[in-house]
Amino acid sequence: MANNEAGIATKQKIIYYSKLLFYKNGFNKTTLKNICEAAEIPRTNLFHYFKDKTDIASFLTNDINNRFYGCVNQEIEARHYGGDLIQKGCTCIAAFFLSVMSDPKLNRFFSEIYLNHTGVIPGNDFYLSVFRTLYKAAKKNPETLEFKLFYITNTACQGEFLRQFMSGELNAPSTECVSYFLNQLLIGLSVPEEDKSIIAETAIRLSGQLKTSFLEVFWTEPDLKME
């Protein structure tokens, strides 16, 4: 029991200081040595829990996004915003992007990990689940090549999307950028043309009314005892 609690505490420290350094200095400039020094643990201890820096980022993005989307879904239902699964999914996606794009350090963190590791998309389990749900909600079969291409297309571009917004290359308000992003997503779901703009506009409007804070979820530590 004591050893288990010590292990949980060590993993919690690794997660916390990784997140702190990724946020403060960026994913690219943070090293495993930096993380171990901040957490005051030997480097060998870190490898009991994570195989490399990308593995840490994957754990973080899966955990943070799952908790954020869970909170957003609960709030949508509690506040009786309604909407089908596609509308709810788009609202969650809009809330994520608008939150990240409003904080330069968050934007840098997510753009760097998505750009550097599109082959093993950090948060892969989470995104696969989200896009499967959206695909099924559109009454389409996720066990097809079409779904795989839809999934790759809509995840691989996220890093460049955030990078160009951060650098000013997009030169447009975040709401306009997210609206376009959602419209491209809805094309892949074969949503009728007349419905796309309504879904995207509603998603952006509802995301602005949510009380759920992405930054608050970002800094809340995961309950490792539940793993």
**Residue 44 located in a structural domain:** no
**Residue 6 located in a structural domain:** no
Residue from 159, 201, 194, 164 nearest 180 by CA = 201
Range of the domain at 134: 58-226
Residue that wins the pLDDT comparison between 124 and 213: 213
Q: What does the angle CA 47 – CA 19 – CA 118 come to, to the nearest 5 degrees?
A: 75
Count up the domains in the chain and report the number.
1
The torsion angles phi and psi of 121, rounded to 5 degrees, stand at -50, 115
Per the listing, tokens 């029991």 go with 1
**Residue 15 located in a structural domain:** no
Using CA atoms, how far apart are residues 17 and 50, in angstroms rounded to an integer? 14
Residue that wins the pLDDT comparison between 128 and 143: 143
**Residue 19 located in a structural domain:** no
Burial 77-116 (b: 16+ CB within 10 A, else e): eeeebebeebbbbbbbbbbbbbbbbeeeebbbbbbbbbbb
pLDDT greater than 80 at residue 180: yes
**Residue 28 located in a structural domain:** no
**Residue 4 located in a structural domain:** no
Structure tokens at 58: 């994957």
Percent of the chain with pLDDT over 70: 93
**Residue 17 located in a structural domain:** no
**Residue 39 located in a structural domain:** no
Render pLDDT for 182-199 as a digit per residue (tens, 0 to 9). Answer: 999 999 999 998 899 999
pLDDT at 82: 63
User: Which of 1-10, 79-88, 204-213 has the lowest average pLDDT?
Assistant: 1-10
Residue from 92, 181, 176 nearest 130 by CA = 92
pLDDT at 3: 56
Structure tokens at 188: 């892949």
What's the mean pLDDT in 125-146? 90
